[in-house]
Structure 1
Amino acid sequence: MDLFSLIACCVVLFDLFPIASAALYNTVIQTNYGPVQGYPAFNSSPTGNLTNWKDITVWKGIPFAATTAGQNRFKPPQAAESWNSTLLARSWGNVCPSATSDSDYTIDEDCLNLNIWSAANSTDAKLPVVMWSYPAASTAADALFDGGGMANKGVVYVNYNYRTGSFGWLALPELSEERYAETGYNSSGNWGMLDQFAALKWIHVNIEAFGGDPDHITVMGQSAGSAATYHILNSPLTEGLIVGAIIESGVRDPHDPLCTSLAEGYATLDASLSVGVEYIEGLNISTLAELRELPMDDLVTSMGTNFMATLDHYALPATYLETLLNGSANNVPVMTGNTKDESGASYGLNITVAEYLADINSTYSGNWTVEFLALYPANDSTTASGAYNSQWTDRSNVGTWLWSQLWATASTNPVYTYFWDHAPPGQDQGAHHESEINYVLNNLYDTDLPWEQEDYVIAAKMNAYWVNFIKTGNPNGGDLTQWNATNTSALVQHVGDGWGAIPAAPAEKVALYKAWFDSLVAY
């Protein structure tokens, strides 16, 4: 082979394979439990906006705590056992029971593991870090939460698994006695929340070895994952560990009755204890010792009970209203918002006027019915369906905006509020719950939808806003349309099918929702 042919061959190989010295996948990383080694996240250029794909390393299935089975069941996450040989982190870890029924995953109580994507070229890169918490009935292995798009922009992205259902939230008098002996708090439940805190603490201790900055961690999640993010924001158990929070489809005015039933819902300790006692009676047992001996599947098949977070004044320190008025444990910038077709609004809805009126009368009873019908009138199926969706969408937008005003009571940091209205192609649910995630994470390459050119353009902009916020606490930068922090003008940022400041709702509707919320008991 002559010299020119040899050079040409080398150029081809350079294009096909990443250079080993330019990424961390050929480096053994030392964690506080043992050594791990990752691998290239991509073997070829993914479709979309990724320009640094050759540098991205992924580590999968790294344990951040011990198994939650047996005597560790219904306890805070315990320290993982250390290992000496290098963990080849090429496979997803086990999924926690009740998170998903997908047979592609191994479901087991030994499930507290995490995944990391990093484009760092050295272990001392000190890149900003984001921790992603997934929504309900999901897992960190879901392609929707792939972190390559974030890593491509110089962010170390981490997602993780945590306990849900009875495994994550069961409260019992015996458990409260255990926790009181350990902590001095009459606390029970919130095991999944403590998993979330443990993952954050693992990141803080270990992420520097993966090229991340342990002192620059933003927490982020959607729906149930936004509740996890909100708990981290508020809890004294995580104080000082984060620099920002992104809460997607999560917060609203604490007077809104939806707070009790959607992802951010929680129960009093007495209510949670009552649910727990009834639950174990249904299993024909009466003691905690018996409960810890039951096979995992016995608890998985008994998931009909509505388990949720518990107001224990330990992990969850106060009501949401008290936290807003008195200040959260972490006084940091916040980004939050909603999608058009969620939290009651349904794309393609077709209801009768009678159905609409029945809903309005049950939701806004008494004199409020007349006031809401005046602003959301209907005289046929088309207008009834539109008015129904409009009042739910406005309720979310106004409620989130009002939350931001309450946040300003005790916080010195800004809130950036958005409204997403782009409907991904190939589906019939509109701008549905979770529809912004692919765009935020810029990972369209990993989801099987018939993406169009405009989707890649939107993803680049959405991801840029989110990356800017993760890096600086402010979504603005570059040539992006200016996004102002929420203020008394009731403007939020339109993202998706348009860009820029828009009202949360028309002024008279904002005033009506504020008055209605103020008439209700706070959560």
Structure 2
Amino acid sequence: MLRNTLPILCGLASVSTAALYETVVETKYGAVQGYPAFNSSNTGNLTNWKDITVWKGIPFAATTGGSNRWKAPQPASAWNGTLDARNWGNVCPSATTGNNDYTIDEDCLNLNIWSPASSADAKLPVVMWSYPAESTAADPLFDGGGMADQGIVFVNYNYRTGPFGWLAHSELSAEFEAVTGSNSSGNWGMLDQFAALKWIHANIEAFGGDPNHITVQGQSAGSAATQHILYSDLTKGLIVGAIIESGVRDPHDPLCTSLAEAYTTLEDALEDGNTYLSNLGVSSIAEARELSMEALINGATGTTREDTIMFEAVLDYYAMPDTYLNILEKGLAHDVPVITGNNKDENGATYGLELSLAEYLQDLNETYSGEWVDRFLELYPANDSTTAAGAYNSMFTDRSKVGTWFWTQLWYEHKSSRVWNYFWDHAPPGQTSGAYHESEINYVLNNLYATDLPWTAEDYAIAKKMNDYWASFIKTGNPNTLSKGATEWPAVGTAQEVQHVGDGWGQIPIAWSKKVELFKEWFATLVAY
């Protein structure tokens, strides 16, 4: 919404006399008006909530519809007057499960900013948050007020997913080559992520942020986005750190092909693109660009899972410079500090799992082969359904912790920046899935106020500790530097240990040494990803 006059912000002067919501911010594209992020003291752990300004729905690129569909994000148009940043922007199609509070539209490349700055001269550290799959930047789980309370400018954004974000096709590759020189296509969503980062670098100073001090952070599919930013030549010099939650693992682990960081070869992506156009009933990209959003979503869905096209990142050697293993072994990533880790009940491990002994043995035989079945069964034994469920969960939890530690050792072969590994095991209240995938997000962002779980004093205390670690890292590149009374968190070294966070604090073994060695030997027999 654009307007030529500013509203009278009644009563706000008594709340704060220096917050940026009292003025108009000038970006390179036009003026923008923000608003108080909070209107009451019901803000959990926050102490500086009166000073936090939020701007919603600021476009960082042009619409991705029409002729811009399946193109790299195009520059946003400048606007006249003042952009009223009161409401969330549109949500990208297939990025959400369909919450009626959001407008779904291909004109969706917009971002939201929370800043505690009192002027554009503040030069505060900045963090860019990338959300997980089937979500949006407007989700309360990703509210940035808790991080802004720590003196940090927090930015989240929307990006294309599904067929809108990852379609490859020979016609698109030809178009892309004419612009970039790279005969490839498919990573439109990844290029959206890069474009958001570049917009932040170019404009965040006006919101009190330091464009030369940007940390990228994300969880699950958002951790894949963060990982790709860390790895890509196209983002060189733009970041000072990366926080990859539920993300990295040993590139030899077959889970790399099925979890959030999964990617496909360009050859396979092009084949899927041909199948997709056939499903749509069209023979050219020009015809596909004339179809509705709904038709494009339906075209990806088959009658069975095997028939469904799983759109994902593409190894194009442009946005994504190489395989994960080669990126590490060739030292292609940006040399910046990293936080990365895993949750107890995710990526194979399931709280309250019901599994028979027969099902456990069947899974072992499907996952491993030959001597490996007996070797894993020896270290993860079971003799009934109870022990089978425990062994199964233990095996997958260890696999995540060990794989992340192995990734870190590969990182150290060519990088001097430190890495901190964590293992989260606190189960939020009011649910029965344990320390599930995404369960750490409320705590690291310290935004328990934004969601409606029955939080306890313990939850607020844990959130304060977690947020202190994360905020310290964003500010200094070390989670310990500014943490207040927190347990020391050593960077990963040669010791096979990980930082326990949540229901306990401090270093614990990643797994029994015999199990670590077993995973190492098994991974060595597999094709790297």
After superposition, what is the alpha-carbon deviation per residue over 1:307-352, rounded to whole angstroms, capped at 9, x for unaligned?
0000000000100000101113411000000000000000001111
Pick the aligned partner of 2:47 from 42, 47, 51.
Answer: 51
Q: Percent identity?
A: 70
SS at match of 1:46: coil
Pick the aligned partner of 1:228 from 225, 230, 249.
Answer: 225
Matches within 5 A, 1:382-421: 382-421=386-425
Pick the aligned partner of 1:77 from 73, 76, 79.
Answer: 73
One-letter code of the match for 1:129? Answer: V
1:10 equivalent in structure 2: none
1:381 equivalent in structure 2: 385
Residue 283 (structure 2) pairs with residue 286 (structure 1): yes
SS at match of 1:412: coil
After superposition, what is the alpha-carbon deviation per residue over 1:428-479, rounded to whole angstroms, capped at 9, x for unaligned?
0000000000000000001010001100000000000000000011000332
SS at match of 1:464: helix
- The alpha-carbon deviation at position 16 of structure 1 amounts to 8.8
Moved more, 325-334 or 490-499: 325-334
- The alpha-carbon deviation at position 103 of structure 1 amounts to 1.7
Q: State how far apart, in whole Å, the 1-side matches of 2:399 and 2:14 are.
A: 49
1:249 equivalent in structure 2: 246
Q: TM-score, normalised by structure 1?
A: 0.96
Residue 263 (structure 2) pairs with residue 266 (structure 1): yes
After superposition, what is the alpha-carbon deviation per residue over 1:484-506, rounded to whole angstroms, capped at 9, x for unaligned?
11111111100000000011111
Moved more, 290-299 or 199-208: 290-299
After superposition, what is the alpha-carbon deviation per residue over 1:240-274, rounded to whole angstroms, capped at 9, x for unaligned?
00000000001000000000111101111000000
Q: State how far apart, in whole Å, the 2-side matches of 1:16 and 1:284 are.
A: 56
Matches within 5 A, 1:412-431: 412-431=416-435
2:142 equivalent in structure 1: 145
One-letter code of the match for 1:497? Answer: D
One-letter code of the match for 1:475? Answer: P
2:207 equivalent in structure 1: 210
SS at match of 2:299: coil
Conserved? CA contact 2:279–2:300, under 8 Å: no
After superposition, what is the alpha-carbon deviation per residue over 1:224-243, rounded to whole angstroms, capped at 9, x for unaligned?
00000000000000000000
Q: State how far apart, in whole Å, the 1-side matches of 2:386 and 2:13 are.
A: 56
Pick the aligned partner of 1:35 from 27, 31, 40.
Answer: 31
1:5 equivalent in structure 2: none
2:362 equivalent in structure 1: 358
Residue 29 (structure 2) pairs with residue 25 (structure 1): no
1:507 equivalent in structure 2: 513
2:4 equivalent in structure 1: none
Aligned positions, number: 510
Unaligned runs of 5+ in 1: 1-13
1:166 equivalent in structure 2: 163
Q: State how far apart, in whole Å, the 1-side matches of 2:392 and 2:407 are.
A: 23
2:7 equivalent in structure 1: none
- The alpha-carbon deviation at position 46 of structure 1 amounts to 2.4
- The alpha-carbon deviation at position 303 of structure 1 amounts to 3.3
Q: State how far apart, in whole Å, the 1-side matches of 2:258 and 2:184 are.
A: 22
Q: State how far apart, in whole Å, the 2-side matches of 1:428 and 1:350 are.
A: 14
Matches within 5 A, 1:113-124: 113-124=110-121
One-letter code of the match for 2:360? Answer: Y
Q: State how far apart, in whole Å, the 1-side matches of 2:316 and 2:12 are.
A: 54
2:373 equivalent in structure 1: 369
Distance change (3 Å), C-alpha of 1:18 and 1:421? farther
1:7 equivalent in structure 2: none
1:4 equivalent in structure 2: none
What root-mean-square deviation, in Å, do the aligned CA atoms of Structure 1 and Structure 2 show? 1.2
1:93 equivalent in structure 2: 89
Q: State how far apart, in whole Å, the 2-side matches of 1:306 and 1:522 are.
A: 21
Q: State how far apart, in whole Å, the 1-side matches of 2:117 and 2:464 are.
A: 21
SS at match of 1:194: helix
Q: State how far apart, in whole Å, the 1-side matches of 2:13 and 2:519 are.
A: 57
Distance change (3 Å), C-alpha of 1:20 and 1:402? same
- The alpha-carbon deviation at position 20 of structure 1 amounts to 4.2
After superposition, what is the alpha-carbon deviation per residue over 1:151-192, rounded to whole angstroms, capped at 9, x for unaligned?
000010000000000000000000011111111111101000
